[in-house]
A and B are shown apart, each in its own frame.
Chain A
Amino acid sequence: MAAPYKTFTAEDLVQLRNICGVERVIAREDIGEDYCHDELSGTYRCPDVLVKAMSTAEVSAVMKYASTNNIPVTPRGSGTGLVGGAVAVFGGILLDLSGMNHFLELDEENMTLTLEPGVLLMEVSKFVEERGLFYPPDPGEKTATIGGNINTNAGGMRAVKYGVTRDYIRALEVVLPNGEILTLGGQVAKNSSGYSLKDLIAGSEGTLGIVTKATLRLLPLPKYKISLLVPFPDLPAAIKAVPQVIRASAVPTAVEFMEREVILAAEQFLARKFPDNSADAYLLLTFDGTGKLEVEKAWEEAADICLKCGAMDVFISATQERNEAIWSARGAFLEAIKGSTTEMDECDVVVPRRNVAEFVMYSHDLQKKHEIRIRSFGHAGDGNLHIYILRDELDEKSWKSKLAAVFDDLYHKAAELGGKVSGEHGIGFAKRPYLAESLSEAEKMIMCGIKHTFDPQNILNPGKVISL
């Protein structure tokens, strides 16, 4: 890809090594293949140099050097993204923040946790839950970094009740492309002081600034949790029950849908049977709360609604071992689908809740139309779907053309229903054309203007989210 950037030289390598040391500045020939791609998107490019930053000061110094010398910089956490957001598509510096992985302060009075961006999501939940606290966002990929979660505004299953990552960010320390360090937000619960830049950074996919520290809002850990696995004769019946369940007195923590084919793939992948196989479609509901009776009342009400809506039964899972049987399967869906084919790509659209069934049925029909295998599961409660298009034995050419045709259909249908291109995985590199198509000219201009204000040289994660 041609780019208006300086060609990376041996002198640049020396200078960066002066900032971060020889060991943490890795020359191109020694960079592992894993740093050239992410988990899924097929976006591939080896960076010119890999820099493993260990402090805000280092990030700032690297950015100063990059901006003075016009070298592109791509920030990266665990590399678990699905849309190429952390791939250095213009080469240059890949700035690995996963080593900045320290907990800095737990403020129990303000119920906040301040930490570095490289802490893994699973470490965050373990750390706070051991202390009776709760960080609600719960994206499926637990080995993602919190920095990655902030940058994609990751959602996850508990979004129905608790919202998404952005809702839990109190403050951010951000290094701007010119190396300047900003602190956005603060230890305050309310804030009407000008434009909310921290909320803009959340979900900006590392294109506006580099998050080097975050203060997260915590809640008390709900003491009681229960999951309901609800079999339905078919998917439309299952999805039809969702609005009624959510409208009932207690909002469920999560509302997931799953279909038999995906469950079978997970069974095979895990070599473990799912606790039930009576139905073609299931809803998986969870409820949490601080009182046992409160949680019991909530789930019984939801169970009654499900039965009225045609559920075949409602199965109850209240213990660790019962939950494991269900959630290990749910957690393995992505890997299981991936394991069942040669290559795949995904569509992470979000549509209004009432249109989930229509959209999933539409994706089923596309299998016939395009003669390609498509699998899906997702968050029925918030309308965010994960639709996977599977290559199987297709040759490169027909795979690419069929994939493009399926994506066109899916994104058009989503737009028609009032949906958006990405619910939680972000736009990155792979979904840019679909975002561009979905935005009005005015929106595009504002977005480009924001990018230009933060990053006039376009050196920070260039080629992502929007095309300048």
Chain B
Amino acid sequence: MNMTLPKVRVPYLLLLPGFAFLFTFFILPIANLAQTSTQTPISGGDTGQYEQSFAFSNYVNAFLDNREQFARSFVYATLATIFALAIAYPLAYAIAFKAGKFKNILLVLVVAPFFTSFLLRTIAWKQILGEEGFVVPTLRSLHLMGQQTTITSTAVAVVAGMTYNFLPFMTLPLYASLERIDPRTIEAAGDLYANGLTTFRRVTVPLSLPGVVAGTLLTFIPAAGDYVNAAILGSPNTKMIGNVIESRYFKIVDYPTAAALSFTLMAAILILVTLYIRKAGTEELV
């Protein structure tokens, strides 16, 4: 009889390390952030000295001051997600169904960019899209681009950078979903006189939906908070909310506004993602 009691505890014990981790590195920082977000400067204090005064107006001011960058973040993240989906779907489809013996090599190639730092990859794009890179002179010589037009320091470069950097996050879940589709369902569709397109639309796509949802979330969420691409590939006119938070925190040393902006961003992403999952209506997300 005594044997059963420890057994009941086992799952909890197993959960303990994970829980301790989450508590230390998620709950505590979040609590600290919440606490900071309602502080105001100590009058007569030095740069970076704040005291708690429950100034919830920080949230209103922070949001109203930076509406433009919030909007831009969500627009860029949405665009990057759409482009990533458009590129990754055929790619994942080809790897899952058409690659044959090259399947593993192709998968390694999808993951290969991860072997170098995110930062270095983005700096590399700056060179590629730069004046003396490959793209700009080519487009100019084909008269597809004016002599004074540039690619870097534009929204195009920022969205392209984000699309590229988050592409593997889209491709891998899509591949996992597509690969798991039972080929017999596709054969069955053929047996029922569905042509290729109809099979794809009525069988493949619905069955890959969990991958689409997972991929779009894995792309959209980090993209909305991203500041690396905008910082390296963008200009002052393409700053995203991540750049504002960074500058508030490190440059202006305005911790409360930085914290309030972080919370607002987190809430906005949470709401958008909840609506999206509801709408997508996938019961199984994995």
Report if A and B associate in a common complex: no
